[in-house]
A and B are shown apart, each in its own frame.
Chain A
Amino acid sequence: DIVMTQSPDSLAVSLGERATINCKSSQSVLYSSNNENYLAWYQQKPGQPPKLLIYWASTRESGVPDRFSGSGSGTDFTLTISALQAEDVAVYYCQQYYSTPYSFGQGTKLEIK
């Protein structure tokens, strides 16, 4: 089974500043036949279901602001928010969909400093 580990567990960033969340998988989620990383990022605000932000490690879902970006390959990935807005306060999860059991990171709680 693939274990996903995020860091940090919580993060406080000033408005307008950059926020960076890391995600590490216990084995590679890069599929060699198509050169795609089977890694997604979700945002969850209190009382709401998760919302897809990024898939294939770096492709933004339609409607997601371009201040959100994803990077990385293989086992190490990063979600970056280039200039934090108040509405970005949420918990962020990475997920691998390379193989079942699908697995999520433990979540990173992002707050305003």
Chain B
Amino acid sequence: EVQLVEAGGGLVQPGGSLRLSCAASGFAFSTYSMNWVRQAPGKGLEWVSFISRPGSPVYYADSVKGRFTISRDNAKNSLYLQMNSLRAEDTAVYYCARQTYRYGSDNYFDSWGQGTLVTVSS
């Protein structure tokens, strides 16, 4: 069974940092690209970042570029999101999501974790 378990969320002050992790199991982690998607309270889904199977390339939403860093450790079956210079508008549930691969490109998100809540507030 595919499992994605996020951790690392919590309360942080504006300007602070937080590192999220996503532990993967039940599948060959190194063969899938991964993403972070967030959802502010009561709002819709917002894609945050992508990382390919070997760890490069990576892509970011403009809203987090220069502040967030996505990484992975295929030996540990883990995905990470380092979040710096946090703002109130970064408050959200952060989901990790597995991305399928077909036709020579990365495609839809077929498995999602339960999410971890990040609250940025003083």
Interface residues of A (CB under 8 A from B): 31, 33-34, 36, 38, 40, 42, 44, 48-52, 55-56, 61, 91, 93, 95, 97, 100-107
Contacts and interface: CB of A to CB of B under 8 A. Distances in A.
Contacts of A34: 103
A40 B108 contact: yes
A104 B44 contact: yes
B103 A36 contact: yes
B45 interface: yes
Interface of B: 35, 37, 44-47, 50, 59, 61-62, 95, 99-100, 103, 106-115
Nearest to B100: A55
B108 A106 contact: no
Give the most central of B46, B59, B112, B115: most A CB within 10 Å. B112
A49 B44 CA distance: 12
A55 B109 CA distance: 9
B93 to A, nearest CB: 9
B36 to A, nearest CB: 11
A93 B44 contact: yes
Given A50-B112, A52-B109, A97-B108, A104 B46 contact: yes
A73 to B, nearest CB: 16
